[in-house]
Amino acid sequence: MQPSEATALKGAPKGALFSGWSAGLAGLLAPSEEGLKRSYFKGTGLAAALLSPQLIILLFFFFVPSWKALSLAFVQIDPFGGKSVFVGLRNFVELFASENYRYSAWLTFWFTITQNIITLVIAGALAFAIDHIVRARYAYRTVILLPYAIAPVVTGAMWAFLFNPSVGPIAGWLHAMGLPWDPNLRPWDAVVLITMASVWNHICYDFIFLTAAMLAVPQSLREAAAIDGASQWRRFRTITVPLVMPTVFYLFIINFVYGLFDTFGIIDAVTRGGPAGSTTTLVYKVYQDGFVNLNLGSSAAQSIVLMALAVLFTILQFRALDRRVNYQV
């Protein structure tokens, strides 16, 4: 905003400024076709060639394994793979009757939602704070983005060492404060540890998207609202939040998928599903039953259930949240 415009706005009536600010925000949220692009192909050959690499990857790394898991879910196979017997729905019946599986399902739901919300809140606060940092801004970004370059297994090893009850420095501080921290023996401590490690490893991903989304919010709107007397919290709540909601919605889905599938390496490095199965999420139970206990039928049935749950929750999230998101800018 130019100084002359700011001077003119300061001299204008307060109601007129509020009306101008509201009209500007409504204009940004109004439907617009600017910026949309469409590609046209005279024939189907070039389009098929461009799509073929992705289709081949989907074929060999999604559809073929999915079909194999579906076929194994209805049979019992001996541990050496020499004989299989069709058992119908017995694998699914035994699965849902298992108390350990029901606990894994509850743990997965709690863990996925908790890490999702904590990651979004912390990443949003860090992205919001970046506008208020004058000195060492590049160092601030580098420190926050550093976990993105670290593999989940390495992240798990780091957190397992820091919170090790025998040699970990942070565990030593907790013991000095009188807290009985021991993730090797106390189930709740183990759950808290894998949750913290998973959040730390994924904050940088959300931070990148939220920072870009907040930088895309027109500065003129926030300046007009500030001149109109809106507080910083009100400007954030009524201008920034509605305009970054598409990004938040996208990150909510990505965090959900991350909590379901991509935290396997962290759990394996930190607790290996223990103690006593207290950190065995659904995806880790698929691995344990299939590759450790060699119960391929049950493992395949769990894969089918896990995939169905992921699709179901994604659809529910779209139906529940998509109506509250405005994609028109």
Q: Which range is most confident: 134-138, 225-229, 285-289?
A: 285-289
Report yes or no: 247 and 321 within 8 Å, Cβ to Cβ. no
Q: pLDDT grade, residue 18 (50/70/90)?
A: very low
- How far apart are the C-alpha atoms of 93 and 64, rounded to whole Å? 25
**pTM for this model (two decimals):** 0.76
pLDDT of residue 291: 87
Q: Which H or E element spans position 85?
A: strand 84-86
Identify the helix (H) or strand (E) that includes residue 84. Answer: strand 84-86
Q: Is the dihedral angle over the CA atoms 119, 124, 125, 131 positive or is it negative? A: positive
Q: Give 40's Cβ-side CA count (13 Å radius).
A: 1
Higher pLDDT, 142 or 205: 205
Other C-beta atoms lying within 10 Å of the C-beta of residue 53: 9
Burial 301-325 (b: 16+ CB within 10 A, else e): bbbbbbbeebeebeeeeeeeeeeee
pLDDT of residue 141: 75
Which own/partner contact pairs does 235-243 have at CB distance under 8 Å and 24+ positions apart? 236/128, 238/25, 239/25, 240/128, 240/214, 242/25, 242/29, 242/326, 243/28, 243/213, 243/216, 243/217, 243/329
CB atoms near residue 185 (< 10 Å): 13
Q: Quote the pLDDT of residue 322.
A: 63
Does residue 27 have a pLDDT over 90? no
- Per the DSSP assignment, residues forming a β-bridge with 73 are none
Mean pLDDT over the full length of the chain: 82
Q: What is the pLDDT of residues 104-122, one digit of tens each?
A: 999 999 999 999 999 999 9
pLDDT in tens, 41-55: 677 788 888 889 999
More confident residue, 317 or 291: 291
pLDDT bucket at 158, cuts 50 / 70 / 90: very high
CA 100 to chain centre: 25
CATH of domain 98-294: 1.10.3720.10
Give 78-114 pLDDT, tens digit per residue.
Answer: 767 677 888 888 889 988 899 999 999 999 999 999 9
**Torsion sign over Cα 39, 45, 48, 53:** negative
Identity of the residue numbered 126: L
Asked if the peptide bond before residue 275 counts as cis, ω within 30 degrees of 0, the response is yes
Residues 15 and 18: their CA atoms lie apart, in Å, by 5
Looking at residue 237, its pLDDT comes to 85
